[in-house]
Structure 1
Amino acid sequence: MTDANAVTSELSPDPELVVRRLFFLEVSTNRIQAMNPDGSDRTVIVTDCRLPDGVAIDVRAGHIYWTNMGSGVAINDGSIERADIDGTDRKVIVPRGATFTPKQIQLDRKCGKLYWCDREGMRGMRCNLDGTDIETLIEAGRGEVDRRDPTRWCIGVTIDTERRRLYWTQKGPDNAGQGRIFRANIDIPNGESPANRYDIEVLFEGLPEPVHLELDLANRVLYWTDRGDPPRGNTVNRARVDLKTDPEILITHHYLNGAADVHDWGASPARAQSLAGLPPAYVLTAGADLRDEGNEYAARLSQAGVPVTTKHYPGQFHGFFTMGKLLPQANVAVSEIGAWLKAL
């Protein structure tokens, strides 16, 4: 989700002509919507995206940019699109395959650049606002072997336009405490390459699963979300970027009532003290996200004597099961589960 002061004219400074709108992605329906901050006047802006993940608004130019992850995490067909802020004049500016799985995107209007992270591409990238001059700034890995290592996945990105620095996250495996936040100069030092840069520093490490970033330039404070388990995960965090301080958790347990609920079976059935006596189960996991929790649950069911069938889709992500119109593997998964149910 992103926020915009939608101005009716680039030349009009009148604050009465400023309308505050929230723009957000709906990946399950492949749409982008906008609404007022109080939730009213909800409007579909764009339809038929290809797993949208990041969005950025150029208020003055009246443009909306978004990333499409593509048809699946194992396929190199991500793209970036642009449209007018009302959804018209839509065009692809970064073609399919020029980026693997683009995630969060940031706009640098002053320099005329877009920055984004490419998860399975294991890269931090940028291009001009019209999609030309695509560059790789950070390369955390290359090839299929590296691609299977979540510590190399670049997810969130933000930029310090004043000091010309780039910040990004590499989330690591599910709840493994291997998530990191990095910083480097935006421009690659002379004689260096995206895969071999001496100016990269680790700001924070040992995080559950840091994902999206935002930088408050005025106060020099970095904010990020973490999707791991509580107490440190499932949180919104902040830290000063110019001081060596521990991150501060601002919002926590959004899904749970408190830290004690981490061990409650209502939060995750794998946390139940005993699984004995449960009916047969079908456990489906995807290659990206929540795989480890699913495997843990299946193992505990089996240990408790519960008949369990497991199926893994290595090229997919959480939520793919509901996207049969876009992802063929979702239809395969539904058919296999239906056959399993009929055979009970």
Structure 2
Amino acid sequence: MVIMKGFIKTSVLVACVLAAHSAHAQERQIFWTEGFGKVFRGDENSAVYEEIITARVPSALAIAEGYLYWGDAATFDIKRSDLEGANIEVILPYPNWPADLIVDSTSRKIFWTEFEGGKILRANLDGTKVDTLITGLSRPLSLAIDDQTAKLYWSDSITRRIQRANLDGTQIEDVLALSEGIDDLAIDVNARKLYWSGEDIKRSNLDGSDIETILAGIRPFSFTLDAAAGKIYWSDFEKIARANLDGTAPEDLIHGFTFGAESLALDQTSGKICWINPWSPSSRIQRANLDGTEREDIFISVPAFRGIAVDAAAGKLYWTAAVEVMRANLDGSSIEWLADISCGMSDLSDIAVDPKAGKLYWVRDSDCGGGSQLHRSNLDGSATEHLWTGGYLSSLALDLEAGKLYWTDNFGRLPSKGIYRANLDGSDVEFVLDSLASAGGIAIDTRNQKIYWTDYPSSIRRMDFDGTEIEIVLMELSAPIEIALDVPNGKMYWTESNAGKIRRANLDGSAVEDVFSGLKTPYRLALNFGDPALRVDEVSEIAPASLQVLQNYPNPFNPETKIVFFVPPSVKQQRVVIKLFDITGRLVRVLFDREVASGRYEVTWDGRDAHNNELASGTYVYRLETGNNVITKKMLLIH
């Protein structure tokens, strides 16, 4: 059997001919990761999908009246907790990303920017009475409030303007139009000064006059003011620092960040500075004393997700999350952390499953080993092995028939970028095709000896296993990321991140159609189309009065045979299982396992085991089980 991003490719087919009762077509499940950390599951037949796992990724941060308030970039809502990170509650379930939020203690209101919607909104501190104050903005980013004049200030990342209005959204006016980008805002109410950050931190009077640079060239991620103490705090790529409000006497406070801290906020009551650390193994909210001592976690999130794979036989879903390998049931329940790999900057980018050998393969992008690292472990995360290091491994695919592992590499200069393959233990690494600038997702068609890959930003290509016969299968796509194949049905599936779609087409690129649309940012993809695939048709044929299983035909057979069974009209819904054993009694495959209605069912078997391996000639036993009934028959496979 060949596993492609967890999709179990199989050539067992089932045809069902129903009488008085019709059954539903088998659910053909598509799983994908999306945005900042969600896993979705959809049914291809109905185009209905659901969110089954959600990360918690804090974004904007504010403190007021003993509460931490933050936006969640994964769930697109606003949450709050106590200052210890406990008693988390959703106060504003919201459809768009809250890029910044601020609390006005005087009016006891929370204000936030809706980045993608171009709006500024407010609500009571408990989330009630939501008002849309301002609409029609480009990309409102940061907020600040002048309590003395009851004015709300905001920055716009597209127009590069700072504007202000009354706290009810009326009397909008421009304060500054700048040539550089604007990130954070802050106001020193007593000194009547407006601060903002871009490449530098600058300040002006509240009307935009008398602009001065107070901290030049520091490229801050975030900053905040402690006006009472005369201090400004900021974060950059690797630290949190502070200085006097005029930029003098700078001092470093906290080091040890991978990619900086975001959304600095002061807890004046406790004498603490809080921030979001999105690049630690899991996104988290942290705090320390104002002098940088006693750093601690307040809230640790479930990290964002990337690679995804399915083990259909075991009913398990695997995915990568920051530096962790995780798994759950196919409905998202029973989440487990299997492996934790922390080493400098690290991000687990893709994953593949070999259920036959009980192995997981995954890629870690890291700066602590000379490039991406390829690992494998047991399915429970134990016995981790390092297989290979080098380049930037983007996507994985397994060819279990040939014992090969394929990956795409997007690191460095040509010709080192391209498609590689190796043995499953990481040995005998070889180029299949070099000088590919932007190969992304990869999938293997073992039946037709083809390799498919996405070529960012707009195409899907394929070639023979030896790297020849390269052809463009699809063009003019919108950021195709991941690809998976349903070879028995002649289909390929892919995610188009910029279009917000999961699409499919024939393997030659014809008959393109949308499967799911209106998505945020679909990324990795895995298929679970079952084993076997079920087709249902209604006919006028009446089923026998009792359960029957016919002798397979042809028999002896090569390469395939059919098994027909009847479910009587008295049965409205019943589970039927057909198991296949070799002559020693070893289970080699489950051919059929599902709830069925009355009717005539036909299963086609191709002479392969559960891992798509061709079986030897000999006698095999198929056994039908339903309720208290067990019917057994023999068949002969010849080569």
Per-residue Cα deviation, 1:53-103 (whole angstroms, up to 9, x for no partner): 111122342210111112xxxxxx512110001111101101142xx2211
The residue aligned with 1:272 is: 351
Letter in 2 for 1:251: F
Contact kept? 2:443, 2:453, Cα under 8 Å: no
- Distance of 2:304 and 2:457 partners within structure 1: 28
Secondary structure at 2:170's aligned position in 1? coil
**2:164 matches 1:85:** no
Per-residue Cα deviation, 1:119-156 (whole angstroms, up to 9, x for no partner): xxx1111111111112211112xxxxxxxxxxx53121
Letter in 2 for 1:201: E
- Of the structure 1 ranges 87-96 and 210-219, higher mean CA displacement relative to structure 2 is found in 210-219
- Distance of 1:342 and 1:184 partners within structure 2: 62
**2:263 matches 1:184:** no
- Distance of 1:129 and 1:216 partners within structure 2: 25
The residue aligned with 2:296 is: 248
Among 236, 243, 249, which residue is 2:285 paired with? 236
- Distance of 1:94 and 1:68 partners within structure 2: 11
- Distance of 2:286 and 2:231 partners within structure 1: 20
- Distance of 2:511 and 2:295 partners within structure 1: 51
Among 257, 263, 275, which residue is 1:212 paired with? 263
Closer, same or farther in 2 for the Cα pair 1:156/1:204, shift >3 Å?
same
The residue aligned with 2:461 is: none
Closer, same or farther in 2 for the Cα pair 1:96/1:256, shift >3 Å?
closer
Closer, same or farther in 2 for the Cα pair 1:82/1:254, shift >3 Å?
farther
- Distance of 2:178 and 2:510 partners within structure 1: 39
- Distance of 1:303 and 1:210 partners within structure 2: 37
Give the deviation of 1:240 after TM superposition.
0.6
- Distance of 1:137 and 1:239 partners within structure 2: 25
- Distance of 1:200 and 1:106 partners within structure 2: 18
Give the deviation of 1:159 after TM superposition.
1.4
Per-residue Cα deviation, 1:16-39 (whole angstroms, up to 9, x for no partner): xxx421100100111100112222
Letter in 1 for 2:102: T
Among 254, 276, 282, which residue is 1:225 paired with? 276
Structure 1: which 5+ runs fail to align? Answer: 7-18, 71-76, 141-151, 173-178, 190-198, 279-297, 313-320, 322-332
Among 193, 196, 208, which residue is 1:131 paired with? 208
The residue aligned with 1:196 is: none
- Distance of 2:348 and 2:441 partners within structure 1: 10
Closer, same or farther in 2 for the Cα pair 1:137/1:163, shift >3 Å?
same
Contact kept? 2:321, 2:348, Cα under 8 Å: no
Structure with bigger RCO (C-alpha 8 Å, 6+ apart): 2
Letter in 2 for 1:138: L
Contact kept? 2:154, 2:163, Cα under 8 Å: yes
The residue aligned with 2:251 is: 201
Letter in 2 for 1:212: S
- Distance of 1:129 and 1:44 partners within structure 2: 25
Q: How does 1:28-43 map to 2 (within 5 A)?
A: 28-43=116-131
Letter in 2 for 1:221: K
Closer, same or farther in 2 for the Cα pair 1:134/1:249, shift >3 Å?
same
Closer, same or farther in 2 for the Cα pair 1:299/1:138, shift >3 Å?
farther
Letter in 1 for 2:239: R
Closer, same or farther in 2 for the Cα pair 1:187/1:26, shift >3 Å?
same
Q: Which has the higher strand share?
A: 2
Give the deviation of 1:220 after TM superposition.
2.5
Closer, same or farther in 2 for the Cα pair 1:311/1:3, shift >3 Å?
same
- Distance of 1:84 and 1:93 partners within structure 2: 13
Per-residue Cα deviation, 1:274-310 (whole angstroms, up to 9, x for no partner): 53169xxxxxxxxxxxxxxxxxxx7774598650222
Among 229, 232, 235, which residue is 1:169 paired with? 235
The residue aligned with 2:46 is: none
- Distance of 2:109 and 2:131 partners within structure 1: 10
Closer, same or farther in 2 for the Cα pair 1:80/1:254, shift >3 Å?
farther
- Distance of 2:301 and 2:219 partners within structure 1: 25
Report % sequence identity. 24
Contact kept? 1:112, 1:129, Cα under 8 Å: yes
Letter in 2 for 1:185: N
**2:457 matches 1:311:** yes
Give the deviation of 1:265 after TM superposition.
6.4
- Distance of 2:203 and 2:104 partners within structure 1: 22
Q: Which structure has the larger Rg over C-alpha atoms?
A: 2
Give the deviation of 1:186 after TM superposition.
1.6
| Alignment RMSD | 3.6
- Distance of 1:245 and 1:5 partners within structure 2: 28
Give the deviation of 1:113 after TM superposition.
1.0
- Distance of 1:96 and 1:334 partners within structure 2: 32
**2:115 matches 1:27:** yes
- Distance of 2:171 and 2:510 partners within structure 1: 48
Letter in 2 for 1:130: D
Give the deviation of 1:225 after TM superposition.
1.2
**2:221 matches 1:160:** no
Closer, same or farther in 2 for the Cα pair 1:300/1:186, shift >3 Å?
same
- Distance of 2:510 and 2:246 partners within structure 1: 58
Give the deviation of 1:256 after TM superposition.
6.7
The residue aligned with 1:94 is: 176
The residue aligned with 2:4 is: none
Secondary structure at 2:121's aligned position in 1? strand
Q: Which has the higher helix share?
A: 1
Secondary structure at 1:103's aligned position in 2? coil
TM-score of the two chains, using structure 1 as the length reference: 0.63
Q: How many residues align?
A: 251
Closer, same or farther in 2 for the Cα pair 1:90/1:247, shift >3 Å?
same
- Distance of 2:232 and 2:511 partners within structure 1: 54
- Distance of 2:397 and 2:442 partners within structure 1: 9
Q: How does 1:332-343 map to 2 (within 5 A)?
A: 334=499
